[in-house]
Copies of this chain bind each other. A is one copy, B any other.
């Protein structure tokens, strides 16, 4: 199998749209390549034969789309972090996963050079092909089987989803006193920027890592009327403290 020249991206969400844009603008593909984006509901304009179909729809819909495009491509891959490669087993000779680890919003410009791609394939040829395509838009391309992908996903939940929620709690705390989360953004950005060079354990600051019980008690007093926040404060403070041992 040569490098795919007819690529059909199925989906109309943010991931599909961004992948279409990234591949159209940046991918180094053979001349006469064509890349289409196809509505997953109608499958209008899906060629009878594609070299590669990328299924980029909600996790729950991958199985049914896969059935409907069975036999329509040499190689079929999905773009999900948490769905097993096996869901594509009967759809094509070559099948795999093409997973960009990033959060895609409708109107934001992304630097594709910064997006890590995680590739899985049912054979070496599939892995090579998917890697080649990913490498043409990003220098950060890794192989990851379904178990590694699952681990990446849960790690992203801790590092990103949960962190965002902590900013939401900070926002609530500040709004109760006439301020809001935006005053924290420079500090938050610097906290993240430090991680470019310093591992998170070495970068840890705050009362818990100093075991500053005076400040911790005063914070706990302040949170006393809000048991949910207090529980989070206590659990994360003690987790920081025990991570030092």
Contact status A239-B243, CB under 8 Å: no
B205 x A184 contact (CB < 8 A): no
Given A105-B194, A148-B179, A235-B231, A166-B159 contact (CB < 8 Å): yes
Q: Are A108 and B140 CB-contacts (below 8 A) given A165-B243, A168-B200, A186-B102?
A: no
Interface contact B187-A103, CB-CB below 8 Å: yes
> Contact: B160 with A188, CB < 8 Å?
yes
Contact yes or no, A170 B194, CB < 8 A: no
Q: Are B185 and A196 in contact (CB under 8 A)?
A: yes
Total identical chains: 2
Question: Does chain B have a CB within 8 A of A28?
Answer: no
- A218→B86 CA distance, assembly (Å): 17
- Determine if A173 is an interface residue (Cβ-Cβ < 8 Å): yes
Let me know if A240 is at the binding interface, CB within 8 A.
yes
Within 8 A of B (CB), among A175-233: 176-179, 181-196, 198-201, 203-209, 215, 218-219, 222-223, 228-229, 231-233
List chain B residues, Cβ under 8 A from A208. Answer: 157, 161, 165
Interface assignment of A171: CB less than 8 Å from any CB of chain B = yes
Judge whether A114 is part of the interface by a CB distance below 8 angstroms.
Answer: yes
Identify which of residues 87-146 in chain A touch chain B, using a CB-to-CB cut-off of 8 Å.
101-103, 105, 108, 110-111, 114-116, 140, 142
A–B pairs, 11, beta carbons within 8 Å: A82-B218, A101-B183, A102-B190, A103-B191, A148-B177, A151-B174, A152-B174, A159-B169, A161-B240, A165-B204, A171-B201
The 3 lowest CB-CB distance pairs between A and B, nearest first, are A161-B206, A163-B163, A155-B170
